[in-house]
Amino acid sequence: MAADEPAHEVLLSDGNIEVRRYAPSIVAEVKVSATSRDPASSGFQPLADYIFGNNRPREKIAMTAPVARQRSGQTIDMTSPVARSPGTEGGDWTVQFFMPPEWTMETLPVPNNPDVTLRPVPARTLVAIRFSGSGGSGAQARHWELLQTWLVDKGYKAVGAPIFAGYDPPWTAPFLRRNEVMIEV
């Protein structure tokens, strides 16, 4: 199942790590409580409802990949990296769907659910580490640690919190799933 992805250019590829320059985009997002067992699942439903027509004027919007989730308000100083498990830190989660590029803030349908907000995202550079599997918190933590080490070794400075991205529907066999941990630099 191939879904459109946000427009980007790969600036550097090093094994399963890429440095990418993303074009400006728009996200539909929802905040999920830090107490949620699975923020991706909790945030998915209101966002799916939005793109499937729970909006004004009840217009459908194409599904894109990835579904991204990030802790709100979390920052990590990359001058002395510390491996952190995404499931053990405070702060709520933000779950996002990227809107297809043909939409603008002026043309996107208005969400009926007040928890769903639309937000422009400026052009930015992200570094991503790709991995397969279920994409659970243990795998995310391991790959975030590997990515932190790579960033320090290559002289990059992280901005903000790590983003955990899943590209495939839940019925995809885990060994075929594409997951990523990304960070803005």
- What pLDDT, on the 0 to 100 scale, is given for residue 78? 36
Say whether 43 sits in a helix, a strand or coil. helix
**Residues of the chain by 3-state class (helix, strand, coil), percent to 5:** 20, 35, 45
Per-residue pLDDT of 94-103, as tens digits, reads 999 999 999 9
- pLDDT-derived band at 73 (thresholds 50, 70, 90) equals low
Q: Which two tokens stand for residue 99?
A: 């809107």
Q: Is it the case that residue 71 has pLDDT exceeding 50? A: yes
- pLDDT-derived band at 16 (thresholds 50, 70, 90) equals very high
Q: With beta carbons less than 8 A apart as the criterion, state whether 69 and 43 touch.
A: yes
Q: Is it the case that residue 181 has pLDDT exceeding 60? A: yes
At 133, give phi and psi (nearest 5°).
115, -170
At 55, give phi and psi (nearest 5°).
-155, 170
First-to-last alpha carbon distance for the chain, in angstroms, is 30
> pTM score, two decimals?
0.85
Q: With beta carbons less than 8 A apart as the criterion, state whether 182 and 162 touch.
A: yes
CA pair distance 68, 71, nearest whole angstrom: 10
Cβ-Cβ contacts under 8 Å for 54 (sequence gap 6 or more): 111, 112, 113
Q: Which two tokens stand for residue 27?
A: 């996200």
DSSP character string of 80-95 = S-----TTSS-S-EEE
Q: With beta carbons less than 8 A apart as the criterion, state whether 116 and 29 touch.
A: yes
Q: Which two tokens stand for residue 145?
A: 């640690």
Per-residue pLDDT of 90-138, as tens digits, reads 578 999 999 999 999 999 999 999 999 999 999 999 999 999 998 888 9
- What pLDDT, on the 0 to 100 scale, is given for residue 169? 85
Mean pLDDT score of the chain, rounded to an integer?
87
